[in-house]
């Protein structure tokens, strides 16, 4: 029994030693996951949150779709997003946090001119949703998918002048938001309006979501405005037009506005009072259901959210979210994952030409070194018979360089 007990002790000690040796031995490990991060700076709370949240949702959906269906072999894209709450300190701190984190590209819903000098210094390509002439000219590291609001207004101004019948010049006034993005378009818009023969009236400023605009509207009537051009999106425009209807101004003043002001909820909310409202649109309308891109956007919405009716502006947002992943994919194909950085992504973006993978319409091109707009085509669309319809063919916007 003593011998057996000693043998048992030796056996246990031997097994422990074997386990220790095994634990210390080199074992093959799984290859580290390759992740490429895109940063996003967005006012997800505050007055601009309605649009910003849809943009974030579309971007998250497309990155998921890209990883699942298209992808880059061995690489996963990931979106890192930060809420600025429209606070400038958070905007700049968010930018620096994301750059220090090592993202290879940024998206911003905040006005892009804030980042222009920093992006060039840090060699950080920025895809921007809120752009002005100061953002894009001279061209640098900021990209977008459409013309500036002043350039789109120029097409509207031309159309107004084509259809103006009176001997005197038409009088036009802007009503826009009390933020940089709302006011930075005014100098170029005024310059263009005057150049084509319009009379420019003083601008009225309102909050993102105004509670009452009676005072502003009465001043516009007193000044004799024929046209009022409204920014920045439908949530801003709806309260203004309700007040105008209540004051009996819809027959005295023709209202029109930025691209994002003409949307399905505006028509639904105003009913007959929306008749005649018009805006330049850079994408197909929500009711153009046979458009291949609109069909695809609807499929994406149902795939990730299950609802039949897309959230407002989701269709246009998800088209624009396809551009950065394409640039990153091209960059990795050229320089490899290990050498990927902001400069490689920028150089890849500069090769994009006639890019419209899902068939929305206007194609995206960055091969012209003087033009970072991607597309400079718009149609003027108007509410007629309770829905929006195109009233012009696609027109090129001018390049309004400050």
Q: Which residues of 19-55 are buried (b: 16+ CB within 10 A; e: fewer)?
A: eeeeeeeeeeeeeeeeebebbbbbbbeebbbbbbbbb
Number of Cα atoms under 13 Å in the Cβ half of residue 156: 32
State how far Cα 397 lies from the chain centre.
19
C-alpha separations of 56 from 80, 121, 313, 324, 392 in Å: 10, 26, 12, 14, 31
Which among 314, 326, 378 is positioned nearest to 355, based on CA atoms?
A: 326
Separation of alpha carbons 139 and 125, rounded Å: 12
The pTM assigned to this predicted structure is 0.88
Classify residue 363 by its DSSP letter. P
Pair of tokens at residue 398: 């001018």
Full set of structural domains in the chain with CATH: 34-147+292-371 (3.40.50.2300), 149-281+379-396 (3.40.50.2300)
pLDDT of residue 42: 94
Average pLDDT of the segment spanning 302-328:
89
State the Cα–Cα distance between residues 178 and 247, nearest whole angstrom: 23
Give me the pLDDT at residue 165, please.
96
> What's the CA gap between 300 and 58, in Å, rounded?
9
Is the Cα dihedral 16, 21, 23, 28 positive or negative?
Answer: negative
Tell me the pLDDT tens digit for each residue of 241-298. Answer: 999 999 999 999 999 999 999 999 999 999 999 999 999 999 999 999 899 999 999 9
SS3 call for 389:
strand
From CA 146, how far away is CA 129, in angstroms rounded?
9
Predicted local confidence at residue 50, as pLDDT: 83
Q: How far is CA 345 from CA 36, 39, 77, 82, in A?
A: 11, 13, 13, 21
Handedness of CA 302, 307, 309, 310 (dihedral sign): negative
Both tokens of 347, joined, read 């150089």
Higher-confidence position of 253 and 310: 253
Q: What percent of the chain has pLDDT over 90?
A: 81
Q: Which of 237, 181, 240, 178 is nearest to 203 (CA)?
A: 178
Report pLDDT digits (tens) over 49-102: 888 899 999 999 999 999 999 999 999 999 999 999 989 999 999 999 999 999
CB atoms within 10 A of CB 156: 26
């Amino acid at each position: 029994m003593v011998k057996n007990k000693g043998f048992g002790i030796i056996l246990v000690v031997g097994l422990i030693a074997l386990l220790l040796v095994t634990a210390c031995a080199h074992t093959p490990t799984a290859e580290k996951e390759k992740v490429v991060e895109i940063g996003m700076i967005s006012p997800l709370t505050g007055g601009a949150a309605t649009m910003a949240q849809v943009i974030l949702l579309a971007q998250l959906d497309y990155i998921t779709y890209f990883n699942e269906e298209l992808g880059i072999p061995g690489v996963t894209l990931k979106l890192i997003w930060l809420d600025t709450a429209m606070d400038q300190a958070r905007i700049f701190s968010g930018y620096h946090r994301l750059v220090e984190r090592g993202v290879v590209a940024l998206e911003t819903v905040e006005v892009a001119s804030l980042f222009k000098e920093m992006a060039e210094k840090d060699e950080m390509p920025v895809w921007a949703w809120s752009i002005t002439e100061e953002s894009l000219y001279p061209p640098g590291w900021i990209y977008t998918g459409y013309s500036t609001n002043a350039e789109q207004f120029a097409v509207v101004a031309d159309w107004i002048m084509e259809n103006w019948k009176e001997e005197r010049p038409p009088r036009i006034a802007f009503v826009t938001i009390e933020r940089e993005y709302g006011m930075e378009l005014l100098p170029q818009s005024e310059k263009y309006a005057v150049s084509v023969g319009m009379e420019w009236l003083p601008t009225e400023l309102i909050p993102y979501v105004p509670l009452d605009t009676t005072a502003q509207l009465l001043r516009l009537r007193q000044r004799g405005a024929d046209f009022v051009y409204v920014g920045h999106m439908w949530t801003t425009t709806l309260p203004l037009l309700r007040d105008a209807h209540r004051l009996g101004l819809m027959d005295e003043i023709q209202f029109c506005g930025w691209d994002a002001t003409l949307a399905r909820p505006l028509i639904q909310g105003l009913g007959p009072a929306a008749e005649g409202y018009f805006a330049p649109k850079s994408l197909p309308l929500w009711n153009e259901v046979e458009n291949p891109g609109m069909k695809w956007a609807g499929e994406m919405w149902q795939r990730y959210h299950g609802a039949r009716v897309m959230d407002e502006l989701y269709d246009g947002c998800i088209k624009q979210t396809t551009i950065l992943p394409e640039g990153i994919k091209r960059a990795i194909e050229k320089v490899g994952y290990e050498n990927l950085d902001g400069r490689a992504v920028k150089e890849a973006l500069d090769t994009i030409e006639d890019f419209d993978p899902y068939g929305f319409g206007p194609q995206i091109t960055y091969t012209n070194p003087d033009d970072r707009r991607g597309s400079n085509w718009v149609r003027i669309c108007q509410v007629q018979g309770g829905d929006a319809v195109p009233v012009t063919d696609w027109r090129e916007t001018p390049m309004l360089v400050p």
